[in-house]
Structure 1
Amino acid sequence: MSKMIKGHLVRNNLTEWLSYLENIHNVEIELGLSRIAAVAKALNVDLTSSVVITVAGTNGKGTSCAFLENALLAQNISCAVYSSPHIERFNERLRINRAEATDDAFVSAFEKIEAARGDISLTYYEYTTLAAFLVLMATAPDVVILEVGLGGRLDATNIIDADIALITTIDLDHQAFLGDTREAIGFEKAGIMRANKPVVIGDTNPPQSLADHASAIGAQPYFRHHDFIVNTEASGTWQWGSSRNQYSELTACHIPQDNVASAIMVLDLLATKCPLTLSSHFINQIIAATKVAGRMEKFSFGCDVILDVGHNPQAARYLATQVQKLSYPCVHAVLGMLADKDIENTVAPLLPVVKHWYIGTLNVPRASAADNIAQYMKNAKQVNCFDNVSQAFKMAMENAKATDLILVFGSFFTVAEIRRLLV
C-alpha cells in the first residue's frame, strides 16, 4: 500500500489544502476501494438519507447528470451532483441545488478526513471524493447524483450503493486501467450495479459483459432498444417509449439525444421514489434548459468557437458528425491532449472535417508534446505546433475568417485554458 506523510503546516484555506493534496500521494491514479472504504468507515460516511444515482460510462456522464439535475430541481426536488474533473474552479465538482459547495465546507471536510485517516494513503481524487460525501451528509439532499471518475468497479464513488445506476456508453478509453476491449471495460463499468436495484444501460450496442454481470448479481437492467425505445417522428421531433410510458413530440437537444433518452428512463424509474411527474411538455422544457459547459459549447469571438472536452475515439466520432452538420466553409481545430490517450484514433474522425490544425502542448505532467500529436496527422491539410494551446488558439483566431469555425477539443485541460480567454 502506498504511503503518504502528513504535513505539519496549518492549512488555512482551500487553495492551501488542494496544494497539499496534490503532493501527498506518489501516484495520480491508484484504483481500489480498500483505502477510501477504511477512512469512510472511520468517518461513518452514510448517504442513505438520499436517493443515490450513480452514473458511469465512457462518454455522456456529465450531460446525463446535468439533465437529471435540471429535471429534479424544476420540480422542487433537492439535488446534488458530484463530478470530476472541473473546468475552472475546484468547487464545480460539487453543486447542491445548483450552487457550488463553498470553500469553508470543503476545508471543514478535509480537516475531518485528515484527523481520521491515520496512516492510510489517499489519492487526491479519493480525498476530495470523501470530502464531497461529508458535505452531502451535512446537507442531505433528496437525490444525490454521483458521476464516476474512472471505470466504476474500483472508482472511489463506488463505496456508496446506488439506488439507480446509469451506464451511458462503452468504448475504448483508459485502457491501461480498464482493459483494452469493450467487454473488459464493460465489466468495470458494470461494477456500479447493485443486487435488486435498477440499472439503465444507454449504449445502443452494449457489450455482453453488462448483461452477464447484471444477471450474476441480480440487478434489474433496462436496455436501450429493448426496455426503452427512441423513434423519429414525421415532423422531425422524436418520441420516447417504454412498457409503462410514452412521451412524444420531443424537440432537438443541445446535448446528445442518446444521453437524454437514457436520463428519461432514469427519471421514469425515479418517479416511483420521488414526487416526480413527467410529461412531454416538461421533458421539452428540460431539453431546452440543458446546456453544459465544454460540451459543444458555442461562443462568438470574431468567428464562431465551439469548445468540447471530447478526448477519446467515440467522442471524436460524435464531434465530427455534429461539426459536419453545421456546414461551416472552413474549420480550424485547436487541439491539446494527454499522452495516455488514443491520439491516433481520436484525431482520425476529424481529419476529413478540419482544414487547419493548431496543436498545443498542455501544461500538465501527462501532456503529449504537440509534435508527438502532429505525427498522427500525416494526411492533414495544414498543421502548426505551439508551446501551449493559448498560443495555438491565438494563431487560429488570426487566421480564421468571420464565417469560419474554430473547434477546441482534446481534453478538459484544453477547454479550461481556452474557456478562460472567452468567458
Structure 2
Amino acid sequence: MKTLSEWLDYQQHIHARGIDMGLERVHEVWQRMGAKRPAPVVVTVGGTNGKGSTVAFLEAMLRAGGMRVGTYTSPHILRYNERVRVDGIEVGDATLVAAFERIESARGSTTLTYFEFGTLAAFDIFARAGLDVAVLEVGLGGRLDAVNIVDADCSIVVTVDLDHMEYLGPDRESIGREKAGIFRPGRPAIVGETRPPQSLLGHARAIGARVEMLGRDFGWEPQVGALTWWHRDPAQPRYVAPAQGAAGIVLHGELALEGAFQYHNAASAIAALHALGDRVRWDVRALQKPAAGARAAPLLAGRLQHLASRPDLVIDVGHNPQAARELALWLDRHPVAGTTRAVFGALADKDVEGVVAALGARIDRWYLAGLVDESPRGETTARLAARVRVAIPDAVCELYPDIPSALAAARAAAAPDDRIIAFGSFHVVAPVLRQAGPL
C-alpha cells in the first residue's frame, strides 16, 4: 500500500502535462465512480484573488449555523491535507489514501493530473461524510477546471484580473469569460466585482443565471461601530435584508481577516448564503475578529497574517499585481515608524515586474530569494533581482539563495519599530511558517 507521500509523487508523473485543461477525462472517471454529489448543497468559488478567503468565510458562517461543511481548496501551504477539510478539520492521510485507491481502481487507462486526482478524492470523501454543504474552490479559471464537473447550486466569482494568461487569455475579458463558466442556468451567480468584465456578465445573462453584483445588488452600509449588509429587492431601490433577525445582517467590529478587500469577499460570501435561502443555516458573527487577547487559530493562514511583533512580521501569499495593489493599500493604511523590509520570492511565470511596481517605494529594502528549492517553477535569485530592478531601478536589494536565509537576514537587521513582510508566493509563506512552527 502506498503512503500519502508516495501517492502524491505518483500523481505528479502519470499524466503527460501538469496542467491539462478540460473536463472529459475527469468527468469520465467521476462517472465510473458513481458521480455522487459531494453534498446536497454545493457552492463553487472562483476568481483571480480572494477565493480561499471567501471559502473560509463561507465555512465559518455555515459551521456557526450548525451545518456540516466540507471545503476543498488549493494550493496547500505546509500539508496536502489542508486541501480537504470536513467540519473544519483536515482529513487524515488514511482517508486520502483510501480515496486515491478508489480513483485508481476506477480510472482504468484514463490518465489524470495531480489536481484532478485531488478533486475527485475530495468529492469522494465528501460524498461519504454525510455533509450538508460542500464549498469548492476552483483551481484555475473555471470553465475547464475539474471542480466544474459538478453543477453548483450557487457560484461566486470574487475577482477577475491578470494571472495565468497562458491558459486563460491575455486580458480581463478573456479571463472573465473563462471564470463565468462556473455559473449555471437559473441559479445564483454572485459577482464580487463592482466593475466586472462584460464577458462575465454577458455569459451569465446568456445562460439565464441569477446575477447578483457587489455594489449594485448587495454590499455594506456603514453604521456607528458596525456594518450592515444590504441587498437590493427588485421591487425596491434598496433594502436591508431581514435575515438573522429584525436588525438585519450586522457585523460588529473588524473582520477576522485583514485588508479592505476582505470586506468585498465577506459581502460576496453572505450574498451566496442569502441566495440559498432556507437550504442553509449560518451566522454572520463567525466573521468577526476575536476579541483582543483571545487565543484563536487564524481563520485562514497566509493572508496578511501576523506572526510576530517588534518587529512586526507579516506573511501574505499574494503573487500577482492585483494582490500587490491590495497589499500596497494595506501598507499605506498601517504605517510603521521604522523600515519596511520585504522578503520576496516568486515563480518564474509570474508578473514579478507588475507586483514590484505596485508596491513601489513602500518597500525600503528587498531581501530577494530564489524559489528553485521550493518549486520546479521557481525563479532564480539572480533573475529575480534583475526583474525587480526593471520595475524599480534604484531598489535596495540583498540576494539570498533561499527564503530561510533571506528571512534570517531581515530579522537580524530589523529594529523593533520595523516591519518585515514576506510575500510573493505560497512557496514564500511555507518556509516562513515552517520556521515559525505549526499552524
Match of 2:254 in 1: 252
Match of 1:197 in 2: 187
Residue 288 of structure 2 aligns to a residue in which SS? helix
Match of 2:151 in 1: 161
Matches of 1:97 and 1:223, distance apart in 2: 29
Alignment equivalent of 1:237, drawn from 226, 230, 254:
226
Deviates more, 1:132-141 or 1:55-64: 132-141
Relative distance call for 1:231 and 1:49 in structure 2 (3 A) is: closer
Relative distance call for 1:195 and 1:389 in structure 2 (3 A) is: same
Deviates more, 1:289-298 or 1:239-248: 239-248
Match of 1:330 in 2: 339
Match of 1:266 in 2: 272
- Equivalent residues of 1:67, 1:287 under 8 A apart: no
Matches of 1:138 and 1:170, distance apart in 2: 34
The gaps in structure 1 that reach 5 residues or longer are 1-10
- Equivalent residues of 2:345, 2:425 under 8 A apart: yes
Matches of 1:48 and 1:392, distance apart in 2: 42
Matches of 1:111 and 1:16, distance apart in 2: 12
Deviation at 1:417, TM superposition (A): 1.2
Q: Deviations over 1:185-217 (max 9, x none)?
A: 001100000111111101121111111111111
Matches of 1:258 and 1:71, distance apart in 2: 16
Residue 427 of structure 2 aligns to a residue in which SS? helix
1:184 and 2:174 aligned: yes
Deviation at 1:81, TM superposition (A): 0.3
Alignment equivalent of 2:136, drawn from 131, 146, 153:
146
Query: AA paired with 2:347?
Result: L
Deviation at 1:156, TM superposition (A): 0.6
Deviation at 1:238, TM superposition (A): 2.6
Match of 1:348 in 2: 357
Relative distance call for 1:163 and 1:330 in structure 2 (3 A) is: same
Q: Deviations over 1:336-356 (max 9, x none)?
A: 100111111111121211101
Deviation at 1:226, TM superposition (A): 1.3
Match of 2:424 in 1: 410
- Equivalent residues of 1:50, 1:140 under 8 A apart: no
Matches of 1:303 and 1:134, distance apart in 2: 45
Aligned residues: 407
Alignment equivalent of 1:58, drawn from 26, 48, 56:
48
Matches of 2:361 and 2:252, distance apart in 1: 32
Deviation at 1:247, TM superposition (A): 3.1
Residue 55 of structure 1 aligns to a residue in which SS? strand
> Counterparts in 2 of 1:274-285, with a 5 A limit?
274=280, 276=281, 282-285=283-286
Q: Deviations over 1:96-147 (max 9, x none)?
A: 0011111111111111111111111111111111111111111130000000
CA root-mean-square deviation: 1.6
The 4+ residue runs of structure 1 with deviation greater than 4 A are none
Residue 160 of structure 2 aligns to a residue in which SS? coil
Matches of 1:140 and 1:148, distance apart in 2: 22
- Equivalent residues of 2:194, 2:216 under 8 A apart: no
TM-score computed with the length of structure 2 as normaliser = 0.89
Q: Deviations over 1:243-276 (max 9, x none)?
A: 35043464322431111111111121233312x2
Identity of matched residues, %: 40
Deviation at 1:70, TM superposition (A): 0.6
Matches of 1:294 and 1:348, distance apart in 2: 22
Residue 135 of structure 2 aligns to a residue in which SS? strand
Residue 71 of structure 2 aligns to a residue in which SS? strand
Matches of 1:375 and 1:156, distance apart in 2: 36
Match of 1:307 in 2: 315
Match of 2:27 in 1: 37
Residue 180 of structure 1 aligns to a residue in which SS? coil
Relative distance call for 1:331 and 1:49 in structure 2 (3 A) is: closer
- Equivalent residues of 2:191, 2:212 under 8 A apart: yes
- Equivalent residues of 2:38, 2:134 under 8 A apart: no
- Equivalent residues of 1:294, 1:415 under 8 A apart: yes
Residue 385 of structure 1 aligns to a residue in which SS? strand
Alignment equivalent of 1:366, drawn from 377, 381, 384:
377
